[in-house]
A and B are shown apart, each in its own frame.
Chain A
């Protein structure tokens, strides 16, 4: 049964392919009915692990790609195996049925700017590559794009970089072991660049591990640059009911509020987040 309203969809899809693009990193392509609403970059989907009675909860994944074809739509998910759920997912083969709920949450704002810096920590590239793909599709020639991509090593970085749509953007790589690009955290390169790039004409969109986002938050604190981050939290429902995925956010009066990553996020203004953990 297809259930669908203006912007939500819950239905079975079928796996087209599920292939490894780098050690532990996979590209999942799902065929879903055309009724699936077009996701905005930064939105996510819940994927239900089929035929698994032990792992009952669906998993949230950023939308990495989406195309409408003649008879179906294709949803792409880029993921890293990081636990039992993603391990299970990586073993699914073409033809397997998989329930998709989405598109969920609030995506990136689309603001006009002279320069957009996409800051990705590893698999955090997934929604940012989708953002860039859409910008290229829209024919946005007035913005200069740079991708700051950090990864563990060259092999993973190159696998991830293969998922960046072709365009005129600049790629600035960093790896933990220095096997390609700068050796160290990606935010180190960004820090230098921000010395001359941090203006009102620049915006930063970022997704990656908490440590990276925390450093980024410190980098932009005193700067005039606009910065949005896509967050990840464990969630049970993805639709705002379980209240399991909250993050602490700052109010104007100095107090703080919990907001749901699934509903008020997953994209937040970086200045709104209280980075305590």
Chain B
């Protein structure tokens, strides 16, 4: 029998399999290396990187909610320079694709980040974060406006030859408008969804559970919303779509691929079980075997209506 074909092409980013660890849930890889060979993954999206190190939001930063969690970390990260000097060499040891997730407060900051990272050896793609709901400036502000989203994308596009992925926020009226805008601005792929803005209150003291008051909802609770949006965007754009949102099992991942995602990102599930990406990958292979599908690409966008 022919070996299973699991490799996918995400707008010029070639992955040996479609399972990517999502930004903000996988650190810079170090915390997960004790649990499995990171080289098993299709790719790793780094913690969101900014030009300067960021302290993040005051605690409390997380709270569990039914089948999910809210977070308001606020993009705490070591900054792009320390990332390149101290974190990237570690990640490069593994046979996996490194996707640098970038965040800026202005379009110019995104532009600079793209320039700096393109010169660094060992970055395979850039994922533009215009969808973080937990920062005052930048983030979802760019992701909610088609013109601003396009401006950021075009600026990054002009600075790099690496594949450019734009990570979209679900906190908009029509996500396809943003997807189309960044496609026209030169994005090679889109990834969706980032977290849904939410809130939780401690009724005993009538205070919000999070110091930031609101936070981003993730986990199985958001999966149906994410799946619907992936399906909508898949039909609206020509560039590849990466599916994200509550993927915890292989079945979840397969739903996204059938809906049109060429690859998927695993986020909150990494917190639940540090080796969940591997279990998801194994489950996908098992499914393909069971259905005698030799090439995973046969599955992508194969939804029957």
Give me the interface of A with B, judged by CB distance under 8 Å.
Answer: 1, 3, 5-8, 10, 48, 53-58, 85, 99, 101, 233-237, 239-248, 257-258
A57 to B26, CA, bound (A): 16
The stretch from B27-35, B92-100, B136-144 touching chain A is: B27-35
Tell me, yes or no, whether B3 is within 8 Å of chain A by CB. Answer: no
Judged by DSSP, the binding face of B is loop
Q: Which of B63, B66, B275 contacts A234 (CB 8 A)?
A: B63
- Residues of B261-288 whose CB lies within 8 A of A: 268, 270-275
A240 to B68, CA, bound (A): 19
Give me the interface of B with A, judged by CB distance under 8 Å.
Answer: 25-27, 30-32, 34-36, 55-56, 58-64, 66-69, 71, 73, 76, 219-220, 248, 268, 270-275
Contact A56:B274 (CB < 8 A) given known A234-B60, A248-B58: no
Residues of chain A within 8 A (CB-CB) of B26 are 241
Residues of chain B within 8 A (CB-CB) of A99 are 273
Q: Which of B56, B63, B220 contacts A56 (CB 8 A)?
A: B220
A237 to B56, CA, bound (A): 18
Interface contact B76-A243, CB-CB below 8 Å: yes
Residues of chain A within 8 A (CB-CB) of B59 are 233, 245-248, 258
Q: Which of A53, A234, A241, A243 contacts B32 (CB 8 A)?
A: A241
Interface contact B68-A56, CB-CB below 8 Å: yes
Most buried by B among A7, A54, A237, A247: A237
A248 to B211, CA, bound (A): 13
Residues of chain A within 8 A (CB-CB) of B36 are 3
Residues of chain A within 8 A (CB-CB) of B76 are 243, 246, 258
Q: How far is the CB of A209 from chain B (nearest CB, A)?
A: 14
Q: Which of A3, A57, A247 contacts B35 (CB 8 A)?
A: A3
In the complex, what residue of chain A is closest to B74 when comparing beta carbons?
A243
A223 to B226, CA, bound (A): 56
Interface contact B31-A56, CB-CB below 8 Å: no
Most buried by A among B32, B64, B68, B270: B64
Q: How far is the CB of A234 from chain B (nearest CB, A)?
A: 6
A236 to B73, CA, bound (A): 12
Most buried by A among B34, B71, B220: B34
A257 to B53, CA, bound (A): 12
In the complex, what residue of chain B is closest to A52 when comparing beta carbons?
B67
Q: How far is the CB of B65 from chain A (nearest CB, A)?
A: 9
Residues of chain B within 8 A (CB-CB) of A240 are 27, 30-31
A268 to B36, CA, bound (A): 29
In the complex, what residue of chain A is closest to B64 when comparing beta carbons?
A57
In the complex, what residue of chain B is closest to A262 when comparing beta carbons?
B31
Interface contact B66-A57, CB-CB below 8 Å: no
Residues of chain B within 8 A (CB-CB) of A242 are 25, 62, 71, 73, 271
Given contacts A53-B220, A245-B61, 12 further A-B contacts (CB under 8 A): A53-B67, A54-B67, A56-B219, A56-B220, A57-B64, A57-B271, A234-B63, A237-B31, A242-B62, A243-B73, A244-B61, A257-B55
Q: How far is the CB of A58 from chain B (nearest CB, A)?
A: 7
Contact A56:B34 (CB < 8 A) given known A10-B275, A233-B60, A258-B76: no
Residues of chain B within 8 A (CB-CB) of A7 are 34
Q: How far is the CB of B21 from chain A (nearest CB, A)?
A: 10
Q: How far is the CB of A53 from chain B (nearest CB, A)?
A: 6
Interface contact B62-A241, CB-CB below 8 Å: no
In the complex, what residue of chain A is closest to B77 when comparing beta carbons?
A243
A248 to B57, CA, bound (A): 11
Could you show 7 A-B contacts with beta carbons less than 8 Å apart? Answer: A3-B275, A85-B64, A99-B273, A234-B63, A243-B76, A246-B76, A248-B58
Interface contact A239-B272, CB-CB below 8 Å: no
Contact A10:B35 (CB < 8 A) given known A57-B69, A241-B25: yes
Interface contact A237-B274, CB-CB below 8 Å: yes
A197 to B274, CA, bound (A): 45
Interface contact B67-A5, CB-CB below 8 Å: no
Residues of chain B within 8 A (CB-CB) of A245 are 59, 61-62
Interface contact B27-A241, CB-CB below 8 Å: yes
Top 10 nearest A-B pairs (CB, nearest first) are: A244-B62, A237-B271, A236-B271, A5-B34, A241-B31, A241-B27, A240-B31, A8-B34, A239-B31, A54-B66
A257 to B31, CA, bound (A): 20
Interface contact A237-B270, CB-CB below 8 Å: yes
Q: Which of A1, A55, A233, A248 contacts B64 (CB 8 A)?
A: A55
Residues of chain A within 8 A (CB-CB) of B219 are 56
Interface contact A243-B61, CB-CB below 8 Å: yes
A85 to B68, CA, bound (A): 14
A58 to B32, CA, bound (A): 16
Residues of chain A within 8 A (CB-CB) of B220 are 53, 56
Interface contact A235-B66, CB-CB below 8 Å: no
